[in-house]
Chains A and B, each alone.
Chain A
Amino acid sequence: MPFSNTHNATKMKFTADQELPDLSKHNNHMAKVLTREMYAKLREKQTTSGFTLDDIIQTGVDNPGHPFIMTVGCVAGDEETYEVFKDLLDPVIQDRHGGYKPTDKHKTDLNPDNLKGGDDLDPNYVLSSRVRTGRSIRGFCLPPHCSRGERRAIEKLAVEGLGALDGDLKGKYYALKNMTEEEQQQLIDDHFLFDKPVSPLLLASGMGRDWPDARGIWHNDNKTFLVWINEEDHLRVISMQKGGNMKEVFKRFCTGLTKIESLFKTKGHEFMWNEHLGYILTCPSNLGTGLRGGVHVKLPHLSKHEKFGEALKKLRLQKRGTGGVDTAAVGGIFDISNADRLGFSEVELVQMVVDGVKLLIEMEKRLEKGQSIDDLMPAQK
C-alpha cells in the first residue's frame, strides 16, 4: 500500500516463526527459494517507500501455483525492491532466467540495423508479427504499490510524452474511464483493449487497485504502435502488423522506444534500468529486455511432429496459442516467440525469433512434401 507500510511494525511484535507463511503446498519460484532463515532476516526490512517482504510475496502465498506451470510468486513495488531484497530475488531471478548470476551483466541493444534479415518471413505461413516490452518510470512506485496520485502522475507524463510523437507514430490516447461505447468496441475489435485483470495472481499483488483510474491505451493512427498505461507495468509498448516483416516491426519498436525515452528525458525523467538487471519491471520474469518478440505462424504438420518441442527448445523459442499465454493453438496456428528475457540483448532475441521461425517454416515445407527434417534439426543455441 502507498507511502509507507508501518503496518509492518505490528508484525515485528511476533516472532519470525509465528509470521512465517505456510508454503508446504506451494509450487512457485518464491516458495522454492524462501527459507525460514531468509524470511527471518528480510522481514524487518523495507524500501524507502515502505515496500516490505510480505508485500513482495503476498501473490505467491495466495496462489500456490500449478503442479505443471511454474509461476514466479513475487513482485517488486519499486526499483529499490530488487536491491533491498536481493537475498530473495537474486535466486528467483537465477531460477527463472536460466542461471543468470548476481554478478552477470545485461546488454541492451535497441539498434534495429543490427538485425540481419527478418524482412522476408514467408507470408504464406506467417500471419502477423509483433514485439512487446515494458518500461518503468524512475522515481515512481510500481503498480503493486503506487498511490492514486502517483499513478495519475505516471499517466500524465506518459500521455505528454506520447503526445509529442510525430510522423507514422502520431496517435491518440484513450483513458479507460472516459471511453465511449464506440471507442471501446473499436479497441476490442482491433484487439487493443485490455480489461481489468481477473487473474488471482495479478489481483493478489495489488495492481488492480482503483481500476480504472489512470489506466488507458494509446495507439498511433496506423494502429501499428500501441502503449498500455498502468496495467501490469507503468508502460507496455507493442509494435505489430500483419504479415512477416519482423524487421519493420522491430525498427518501429526501437524508434518508438528511443523517441519516448528522449521525450521523457527532456522533462527530467528516465526509465528504470541498470547494467545488471536491464530494464526494471514489476514481475521478475520481465527483467532484462522485457521483450517478447513473436509471430502467428501456420505449422499444422510440424506441430504434430514428435520433434517439434525439441526443435523449439534448441532454438530458445516458446509456443503459445494465439489467444496468448495459457491458450491452446487453434487450426495449427501458433504464437512462436523467444523464451528468454534477460541475459540477451533485444537484437539477439529478435534475431533468434527471425532465424528460428525461418527454420521452422522450412521444416513445415519439408513435411508438406513428405520429406524428412532430421538434417534440419538445429544445435542448442
Chain B
Amino acid sequence: MASTFSRMLMGRRTAMLLASLGTGALATGYLMSDVNHAAVIDRTKLFPPSSDYPDLRKHNNCMASHLTPAIYCRLRDKLTPSGWSLDQCIQTGVDNPGHPFIKTVGMVAGDEESYEIFSDIFDAVIKERHNGYDPRTMKHHTDLDSSKVTHGQFDERYVLSSRVRTGRSIRGLSLPPACTRAERREVERVATMALSGLKGDLAGRYYRLTEMTEQEQQRLIDEHFLFDKPVSPLLIASGMARDWPDGRGIWHNFDKTFLIWINEEDHTRVISMEKGGNMKRVFERFCRGLKEVEKLIQERGWEFMWNERLGYILTCPSNLGTGLRAGVHVRLPHLSKDPRFNKILDNLRLQKRGTGGVDTAAVGDVFDISNLDRIGRSEVELVQLVIDGVNYLIDCEKRLEKSQDIKVPPPVSQFRK
C-alpha cells in the first residue's frame, strides 16, 4: 500500500496543476452565481478522487488495511439515498491511525444502505474483523428462543454477575454518525413509545439526559447505568456525539434488570443483567424484552434494521450479526495464573476483560468473560457457547483448587455447520 500511495503522490502533480490553474478563474464564477449543481460537479473534477485519497501509511486499522486507491476512487463520489458518503464513513479511521497492538475497525455506517453502496470496502473489513465471516457468501441466522439454552445456572461461589447486551437500529432513520437532530429525536420517540408499553417485570421508566435531575443522575451513576458524553476520539471523529445531549436518554425497568441506552453509539443498546449466575434467566428476559419491543414498534409500522447477509445492522461493523456480548464477572484466582489460561479461552472462543470493561485490567482475580464472536452464529448458539465455556472454566478452577490437572479443550467451531 505504501508504494501505491507514493505513486499516487507523484500522479497528483497533474491534479495539482489543474487545481492551481483552475481555481482562480472558477472562484470568480462561484462568487457571482447562485447555488449551482453544475459548479459542484466541476469541483469534483477539479479534485479527482486520486487527490483526496487519504495517507494511510502510518495507520493500523481494518479500514486502512483494505481501502485501496482503486476502491476509494470508485466509491468517493457515490452517495447513499440520504446523502452519506464514503469519506464520512472512513473519517474516524483516517483521524485515528490506531495502535500497533490493538486493531480498531476504522469506519462506521451512516445508514443501512452504507453497507450496500460501499460494500467493496465494508465486506473486506467485516471479513477481517469477524475472523473470516464472508458477507458475500455466508448467511447469518437469528435465534432468540431462550428455551433452547441449557445448563444456564452457574456456581455462584465463582460467578458474581451475568449480563447480555446487544443493539438495535430503527429502519428508515439514519445511524448516529449521520442522523439529523429530527431523526435522532424520532428514534427517541419511537423507542420510548414502545418501551412505555412494556408490562410486568419489564415495566419501567425513561430518563431523558437533558431533563435529568442531580439526584437521578447520581443514582444512575451509582448503579453503573449512566452513560456520559463520549470522550474517545474514535467515537467523536465519527460524528455520533453531535448535538449532545439532545435526544439521548436511559430507560430501565423498575427491577433494574433491563436497561436501554438511547442514541449513544447506536439507536438503542439493550442490556439484561443481574447479580449472581442465572444466565438462563438473564437471557430469557433479554429475548422476551427484545421481542416485546419489536412487536410494539411493528404495531406502529416500524421495524429493526436486519438482513440475512449481515444480521442486525448497527453503526460499527464490529457489532453486526447478533451484536451480542454475553458475559459474566467470574472469580478465577488459580486458573488465571495458569499459563494455559489464554489458550483455553481461545479454544472456547471466549474473551477476557477487566471488570471495568474493554481495555481495563482485571482486579482481584475477577474477570469479565464473554463471547468473542458476533456474527455467523445465532444468539442462542453464542449464549450456549458462553455457558458451556464458563462452566468449563469453573471446572478447571475447582480442579486446580484441589491440585488436580486440567486439560486444554479442543477448539470450538467458529461458524455454524
Name A residues whose Cβ lies closer than 8 Å to a Cβ of B: 1-11, 14-15, 18-22, 45-50, 54, 58, 61-62, 79-80, 83, 138-140, 147-150, 152-153, 156-157, 177, 203-204, 208-211, 213, 267-270
Contacts and interface: CB of A to CB of B under 8 A. Distances in A.
Interface of B: 12, 15-16, 19-21, 23-27, 30-31, 33, 35-36, 39-40, 43-44, 47-48, 51-55, 58, 79, 82-85, 87-88, 91, 94-95, 174, 178, 180-183, 185-186, 210, 236-237, 241-244, 246
Contacts of B44: 3
A305 B256 CA distance: 59
Nearest to A152: B51
Nearest to B180: A11
Given A138-B24, A147-B52, A1 B35 contact: no
Contacts of A62: 241-244
A3 B94 contact: no
A7 B178 contact: yes
Given A10-B180, A14-B182, 5 more contacts: A47-B35, A49-B30, A61-B242, A152-B16, A268-B24
A10 B80 CA distance: 11
Contacts of A203: 236
Nearest to B233: A203
Contact of A149 (B15, B21, B82, B84): B15
Nearest to B94: A210
A148 B54 contact: yes
B232 to A, nearest CB: 13
> Secondary structure of the B side of the interface?
helix
A301 to B, nearest CB: 43
B40 A50 contact: yes
A138 B27 CA distance: 7
B51 A6 contact: no
7 contacts: A1-B85, A2-B52, A6-B79, A6-B83, A19-B181, A153-B47, A210-B54
Contacts of A6: 79, 83
Contacts of A152: 12, 16, 51
A365 to B, nearest CB: 49
A21 B181 contact: yes
Contact of B87 (A2, A18, A58): A2
A210 B88 CA distance: 12
A139 B82 CA distance: 28
Nearest to B46: A149
Contacts of A209: 91, 94-95, 237
Q: Which 3 A-B pairs have the closest CB atoms?
A: A149-B51, A139-B27, A14-B182
A48 B40 CA distance: 6
A61 B241 CA distance: 11
Given A139-B26, A139-B27, A148-B54, A153 B243 contact: no
A231 to B, nearest CB: 15
Nearest to A177: B55
- Select the residue from A9, A147, A213, A267 with max chain B CB neighbours within 10 A: A147
Nearest to B241: A62
B217 to A, nearest CB: 15
Contact of A18 (B51, B174, B185, B236): B185
B51 A9 contact: no
Contacts of B35: 45-48
Given A48-B39, A138-B24, A177-B55, A149 B47 contact: yes
Contacts of B88: 1
Nearest to B244: A62
Contacts of B178: 7
B19 to A, nearest CB: 4
Given A62-B244, A139-B26, A79 B180 contact: no
Contacts of B47: 147, 149-150, 153
Nearest to A140: B23
B210 A268 contact: no
Contacts of B246: 21-22
Contacts of A8: 83
A156 B15 CA distance: 12
A1 B87 contact: yes
A267 B182 contact: no
A204 B82 CA distance: 22
Contacts of A268: 20-21, 24-25
A208 B236 CA distance: 11
Contacts of A49: 30, 40, 43
Contacts of B55: 177, 213
Nearest to A141: B43
B32 to A, nearest CB: 10
Contact of B24 (A3, A45, A139, A148): A139
A16 B79 CA distance: 24
Contacts of B39: 48
- Select the residue from A3, A204, A208, A213 with max chain B CB neighbours within 10 A: A3
Contact of A7 (B21, B54, B84): B84
Nearest to B42: A48
Nearest to A49: B43
B52 A148 contact: yes
A207 B43 CA distance: 20
Contact of B243 (A21, A47, A213): A21
A5 B20 contact: no
B340 to A, nearest CB: 42
A287 B25 CA distance: 24
